[in-house]
Amino acid sequence: MRKKACWLVFAALLGVATASQNPGAVFLMIWPAARPTGLGGAFTALADDASSVYYNQGAMAFLQGTHATLMHSNWLPGLYPGMYYEYAGITHQLPGYGSVGGNIIYLTTGETDVVNDRGDFLGRYTTFDVAVAGGYGYAVMPNLGVGVGAKFIYSFLVPDWVWAAMPELGIEAGGTGITWALDAGALYKPFDFLNVGLALSNIGPNISYTSSGESDPLPRMLRLGASYFPVKNDVVSVAVVPEISKILVGMFYDTTGTKTFNRKLQEEMRDAWKSIGVEAKFVNLLYARLGYFEDLTGQRGGIVLEKEDSQTYHYGIGDVLIRRNLGSFKSIGLCFGIGVEYAKFKFDLSVDQLIYDFPTSNYKFSFSYQF
């Protein structure tokens, strides 16, 4: 069935197809909300809206009032035309007691045709993934917020009637996965011009789709970021937001058994996702965002160079600075976005299609309101 092939490609695009284990529920790693996407996913140390329930629960401690965000994206139609991604989040301040929040994430690849080996059409179904989360953040110090979160995960890939209609597959049941996970985060503000954020996400039991009991680990991830404000006044505000994210599945796995610890550590650092974003705000009305993203293992973003054999390769900024004759420039993994704010309402639009090698469009639209 083409669904299985689609999800294998989907996992590879997110950079999670490690040599040792392939995480399940990879939809949990897609950046929700348009604003963080425009910054290349770097939002752990900024997280000052309702998407903080996803990015950093510790940042919720500093939110005032009630924030709500809705996002829609026809996600990667070049990969699967019927795929779309939705996010809804809300946070509410409890004066003197921190903030609580919740979100829901929904992804579907659309309808899937079921065709047997003889070419007979057997039916059609719609696959989807959903995660419902809650979070709490509290300021343990005036400049330090910590938070925790929990989520329920439901993944529906194949209905049971498919196995009954195709006994040649040798599978009697399976295709639905259910599990849960915990998140934690912290946001530290040592200076008025600097924030440092740390977040740990998707820590929970493996997810299993088959009746045999075989399971896949969740995409456990550690994110570390900073946000620096070189300019901050009533007219113009600029934030520079670097971030590094590491998938904690299959770390230090060595198929040969010959690599030194330093070699494996270097490979893990190269495997990490790296982002840097810049956001400029003008008179609390207009926003402009530019982000750079590289996931060299997943072959997404970075600096793409073409060699004499017409093959393209993804390199990091460090590679290009210290190495020579890598090839001619092909593309660079940029994300960008804009925003408009009026009163307490905000509209954001982002584009991150340039980080992918295949032709596609990828827009995210967010609507936010602060009560």
Tell me the mean pLDDT in the region 208-234.
Answer: 88
Least confident of 55-69, 161-175, 213-227, 238-252: 161-175
- Identify the structural domains of the chain with CATH numbers, from first to last: 2-298+333-370 (2.40.160.40)
Question: What tens digit of pLDDT does each residue of 148-165 get?
Answer: 999 999 999 888 888 778
Report d(CA 95, CA 137) in Å as an integer.
12
3-state SS, residue 44:
coil
Cβ atoms of 31 and 348 closer than 8 Å? no
Look at residues 73, 5, 7, 64 and name the one whose alpha carbon lies nearest to residue 34: 73
Banded model confidence at residue 336, pLDDT cuts 50, 70, 90:
very high
Q: What 3-state class would DSSP assign to 140?
A: strand
Centroid of chain to Cα 103: 15
How much is the average pLDDT of 22-39? 93
- Terminal-to-terminal C-alpha distance of the chain: 47
Parallel/antiparallel/unpaired status of strands 303-306 and 328-332: antiparallel
> By percentage, how much of the chain surpasses pLDDT 90?
63
Query: If we measure between CA atoms, which residue out of 141, 144, 259, 133 comes closest to residue 203?
Result: 133
Task: Give the Cα-Cα-Cα angle 361, 249, 40 (nearest 5 degrees).
Answer: 30
Task: Check pLDDT > 50 for residue 17.
Answer: no
Residue type, 371: F
Provide the 3-class DSSP secondary structure of residue 71: strand
Specify the amino acid at residue 303: I
The SS3 of residue 7 is: helix
Name which of 101-105, 110-114, 149-153, 177-181 the model is least confident about: 110-114
Alpha-carbon span 47 to 57, nearest angstrom? 9
Tokens of 51: 């998407």
Contacts of 321 (CB under 8 A, 6+ apart): none
Torsion 279-281-285-286 (CA) sign? negative
Question: What pLDDT does residue 173 have?
Answer: 72
Whole-prediction pTM: 0.90
7 vs 216: CA distance, rounded Å: 14
For 257-283, write each residue's pLDDT tens digit: 777 878 778 878 888 999 999 999 999
pLDDT band at 18 (very low <50, low <70, confident <90, very high): very low
Average pLDDT (66-70) is 97
Question: Kind and range of the H or E element at 317?
Answer: helix 317-322
**Structure confidence by residue, pLDDT tens digits, 289-332:** 999 999 998 899 999 998 888 888 899 998 888 888 888 999 99
State the Cα–Cα distance between residues 129 and 109, nearest whole angstrom.
9
Rounded to 5 degrees, φ, ψ at 7 are -70, -30
Predicted confidence band at 89 (pLDDT cuts at 50, 70, 90)?
A: very high
pLDDT at residue 14, as a whole number: 59
Extract the tokens encoding 203. 């820590």
Please state the separation of Cα 190 from the chain's center in Å: 27
